Structure 1
Amino acid sequence: MITSEEEIRYWLALTAIPNVGIKGLLKTAQTYNTTLSNLLNVKSEELEALGWQSEQIACLREAHPFTQKCMTWLNGDSQRGIITYDCNEYPEQLKQIAQAPLLMFTDGDHRLLQQAQLAVVGSRGPTHSGLTNTNMLLSEVLMQSPLVITSGLALGIDAQSHQTALAFSQEEGLGRTIAVLGNGIDVVYPKRHAHLYEKIRQNGLLLSEFPPSVLPSPKLFPRRNRIISGLSLGTLVSEARIKSGSLVTAKYALEQGREVFAMPSNINNKQAEGCHWLIKQGAKLTECAQDIFDELPELSIKTVQKQEAEKKPKQNLASPRLLDSVGDTSNQDVVCKPEHYDEKDDSSLLLQAVDFDITPIDVIAKRTGQSVSTLFVQLLEYELRGFVTSTSEGYLKLRG
C-alpha cells in the first residue's frame, strides 16, 4: 500500500491523465522497462517520442486537488489503505480485466481481496421470494465454501447479499463480504444503509476507486460494476429487469471470461425478466449452491473433503454442519431438506397446496380440507424446516 503524500499525488495524477488508460500506461512502462510507479522518471522528450501530448505530460507532474483529502482520510483510521496497481495487495484476479483500476481505496480487512469471490447483484426493488431465495442460496454457498460475497451496497438484492454474509461472518468470526462503492470511499449511499456500511467496514471490506468526498453519479455505477465482476470468479444475478445495472455487471462478467449464474423465478415476475433472458443466452440456471460448485468445483468443501479422503482413505472426515432456518430473512441460515422428509408422506399434500406465489390461508384450507387452526400448526413446522415462509397476505413456498 502507499502511504506518503507524494505517492498519493502521483497515482492520482496517473488516473487524471486525459486519453491515456491503463493499457497505454502499461505499454509506456514496458517500453522503458520500468513500472507504473516509476513513470515519473521517464524524460518528457521520451514520452513525446511515444506520442504523449504536452498536456498529458504536464498532468503527470502536476499536483492533484484530491491529494490532501486522501491524506486526511487515510490518516483517520489505521484500517484504511490505498492499493495501487503495482502493490502486492492488488488482486491478480482484477488485473486480468481490460480496464483494471489504477488505484483503490479500502476501509476494512483488505486481505479479503486475496480470497475467492462470488459477485451477487440484482433488483433494487426485489420481491419477497427474491430476497428469501437469495438469502437461502448464499447461506448454502457460505457454509459449503470459502467464497467471499461481493456486491455493490445498493438497495434490495445487494443489501440482502451483504446481510447474509455478515450474519454468517458473525457466527464464524470471519469477514465474508466486500462492498464496492460507486462513489467516494467515505460517502454512504444510499443513506439508509449507514448502519450496513459501518457493519461492513468493521466486519468486511469497503472498496472504491473513487477518492474521498466524490458523490454518487449514474455515470460512476458502470465503473463500479466492472470491478464487482472483475474481482469475482462468477456473478450471480438474482431478480433483474432487462434494462438494469445487474445485466451490465453480467455483461462485464462475460467479457471478462467469468461465470454467470442466474436464479429463475415465476414467469409472471417482471423483476426476473433479466434472469430468464440471461438463462436463454447461456447463463447457468442456478437453484442451489451445487449449481455454482458445478462450475467452480475447486471451491466446494465437499470436493476438498473428497480429495482428502482419496489421499487418506482411512481417515474419517467430519460432515459440514447443517443449520436450521429460523427467524427473519436478513439473518436466515442455510436451509437443507431434512433427510427424513418423505415426498410421499401425507403431510406433503399440505406443501402441494402452497404455491410459489403468495397463497392465502383460506385457499390452503380449501385445497387441503383442513381447518385454519390445524393448518397454522402444520405450516409453522414447515416454516421452521425451511419449506415455506409466512407473509402478511399468506404463505409462500420456498422448496419442495
Structure 2
Amino acid sequence: MINSEEDIRYWLALTALPSIGITILLKTAAKFSVSMFELGTLDKEKLESVGWRAEQIACLREPHPFTQRCISWLAAADNRSIISYQCEEYPERLKQIAQAPLLLFADGDHGLLSKPQLAVVGSRAPTHNGLTNTHTLLTDVLMQSDLVITSGLALGIDARSHIAALDLCQSTHENTRLSRRTIGVLGNGIDVIYPKRHAQLYERIRQNGLLVSEFPPSIMPSPKLFPRRNRIISGLSLGTLVTEARIKSGSLVTAKYAIEQGREVFAMPSNINNKQAEGCHWLIKQGAKLCECAQDIFDELPELILKHAQKQQAGKKPKQNLATTKLLDSVDKASNRGDALRFAEHSQIDDSSPILQAVDFDVTPIDVIAMRTGQSISTLFVELLEYELRGFVASTSEGYLKLRG
C-alpha cells in the first residue's frame, strides 16, 4: 500500500498521462529494466527514445491536483488504503485483464481482494421473483463455499446481492469465516455515495466488507465511468452471474468483459415472458452456463473454493433448484410441528390444479386468480396457503407467483 504524499502524487500522475495506458507503461519499464515506480527517474531522452512526447513527460513530473484530497481521505478513517499496481496487496486476477487500473482506493477489509470472488449483476428494476431467487441462490453459495460476492452497489440485483451476503454474515456472526463476504465496486470517487438511497448499504459494506474504486475521492458518477467499473467487477472475479437483465444493459457489458477476460459466465433463466430476463436467455443461447442452483456454479469453478464438507458431499447429493430448496425448508418446518407424515402424503403437485394453473411465474393478483378459477377469495387464501407451505407458490404484497410446476 502507498501512503506518502510523494508516492500518491506519482501514481496519480501515471493515471493522468495523456494517451498512455498500462500497456505502454509496462513496456517502457521492461525496456529500461525498471519498475513502473521508477519511470519518473528516467532521463527525458530515454523516454523520448521510446516515443514519449514532451507533454507526457511533463505530466509525469508535475503536481497532481488530487494529491492532498487523497491524503485527507486516507487519514480520515481506519481501514482505508491506496493500492498501486505494484503493491503486493493488488489482486493478481485483476492484473490479468486488459487495461488493469493503476490505482485502487479501498475502504474496508482490503484482504477480500485476494479472496475467490463471484460477480453478481442484474437489472436495476428486477421482478420480485428475480430478487427472491438471487437472494436464495447466493445464500446457498455463501453457505457452501468461501466465495466473496462482488457487485456494483447499483439498484436492484446489485443491492440484493450485497444484502444477501451482509444478512448471512449478521445472522451467523459467531462464524468468523462467514464475516466480511462482499465487495462493492464503485463507478465514481471512493467517498461518493451513489445512488443516494444506498447510504445505509454503503456504510454496511464499508464496515462489514469492502468498497473499492479506481477513482479518487470527489469524482462524481458519470455514464462513461460505469463501463470502467464493470470491467473491474468481472476482472476481480472467477465468474460472473447474471440473474436478470435486458439485452441492452450494463449487466451484459459486464458479462462481455468476463468473456473477454476468460472468466466463467452464468445466467439464471426465467419466465419467457419476463422482459427483464431477455438478456439472461440470450446469454444462455450464446453458451453461458444455465444456473438454477449453487452446484451449477461450483461445477465450473476450482475445487479450492469449496468447504471441505461440501467437497465430500458434492457427488452424493442430487442438485436442488431454488424451488426444491423452498420445498425442503417447508418439510423441515412441518417435521418440527409433527406434521411430516401428512406433508409427505400431499407433497406431490397436481398438474391439473386449476388454482396453480391460474398463478403465473410473475406476480398474479388474488382477484385475477379468483376470476380465472371462479372461486371466492376466502377459499383461495386457504388453498394458496397450502401450496405456499408446500413450496409451489410464494406470496407477495401484490399477489402470488408460481415457483414450480
User: In structure 2, how many angstroms separate the alpha carbons of the residues matched to 1:12 and 1:297?
Assistant: 36
Residue 175 (structure 2) pairs with residue 175 (structure 1)? no
Contact 2:303 2:311 in 1 (8 A): no
After TM superposition, list the pairs within 5 Å mapping 1:1-400 onto structure 2.
1-173=1-173, 174-298=179-303, 301=306, 304-305=308-309, 335=326, 337-338=328-329, 345=347, 352-353=356-357, 354-361=359-366, 372-373=377-378, 375-377=380-382, 379-380=384-385, 382-383=387-388, 387-399=392-404
Contact 1:144 1:300 in 2 (8 A): no
How big is the shift at 1:397?
A: 2.0
Identity %: 71
How big is the shift at 1:367?
A: 7.8
Q: Deviations over 1:98-133 (max 9, x none)?
A: 110000100011111111101011111111111111
| Structure 2 segments unaligned to the other structure (5+ residues) | 174-178, 332-339
In the other structure, the counterpart of 2:337 is none
User: In structure 2, how many angstroms separate the alpha carbons of the residues matched to 1:389 and 1:396?
Assistant: 6
* Structure-2 change in CA distance of 1:22 and 1:176 (3 Å): same
The amino acid of 1:250's aligned partner reads A
User: In structure 1, how many angstroms separate the alpha carbons of the residues matched to 2:202 and 2:147?
Assistant: 20
How big is the shift at 1:344?
A: 7.1
The amino acid of 2:328's aligned partner reads K
How big is the shift at 1:391?
A: 2.1
User: In structure 2, how many angstroms separate the alpha carbons of the residues matched to 1:287 and 1:131?
Assistant: 14
User: In structure 2, how many angstroms separate the alpha carbons of the residues matched to 1:224 and 1:357?
Assistant: 31
* Structure-2 change in CA distance of 1:299 and 1:276 (3 Å): farther
The 10-residue stretch of structure 1 (35-44 or 8-17) with the greater mean CA deviation from structure 2: 35-44
* Structure-2 change in CA distance of 1:42 and 1:381 (3 Å): farther
The amino acid of 2:13's aligned partner reads A
Q: Deviations over 1:346-374 (max 9, x none)?
A: 56566844431223445656888986546
Contact 1:123 1:241 in 2 (8 A): yes
* Structure-2 change in CA distance of 1:308 and 1:133 (3 Å): closer
Matched residue SS, 1:220: helix
Q: Deviations over 1:154-212 (max 9, x none)?
A: 11111111111110121233011100000000000000111110111011100000000
* Structure-2 change in CA distance of 1:270 and 1:369 (3 Å): closer
Matched residue SS, 1:282: coil
The amino acid of 1:191's aligned partner reads K
The amino acid of 2:306's aligned partner reads I
How big is the shift at 1:80?
A: 0.7
How big is the shift at 1:82?
A: 0.3
Considering only aligned residues, what root-mean-square deviation do their CA atoms show, in Å? 2.8
The amino acid of 2:194's aligned partner reads Y
Number of aligned positions between the proteins: 381
Matched residue SS, 2:216: coil
In the other structure, the counterpart of 1:331 is none
The amino acid of 1:216's aligned partner reads P
Contact 1:359 1:393 in 2 (8 A): yes
Matched residue SS, 1:295: coil
* Structure-2 change in CA distance of 1:258 and 1:343 (3 Å): farther
TM-score between both structures, scaled by the size of structure 1? 0.87
Contact 1:293 1:299 in 2 (8 A): no
The 10-residue stretch of structure 1 (3-12 or 345-354) with the greater mean CA deviation from structure 2: 345-354
The 10-residue stretch of structure 1 (107-116 or 31-40) with the greater mean CA deviation from structure 2: 31-40
User: In structure 2, how many angstroms separate the alpha carbons of the residues matched to 1:336 and 1:85?
Assistant: 48
Matched residue SS, 1:120: strand
How big is the shift at 1:238?
A: 1.4
User: In structure 1, how many angstroms separate the alpha carbons of the residues matched to 2:60 and 2:97?
Assistant: 24
| Structure 1 segments unaligned to the other structure (5+ residues) | 311-318, 326-333
User: In structure 1, how many angstroms separate the alpha carbons of the residues matched to 2:345 and 2:372?
Assistant: 18
Q: Deviations over 1:66-120 (max 9, x none)?
A: 0000001000011111001001110001000011000010001111111110101
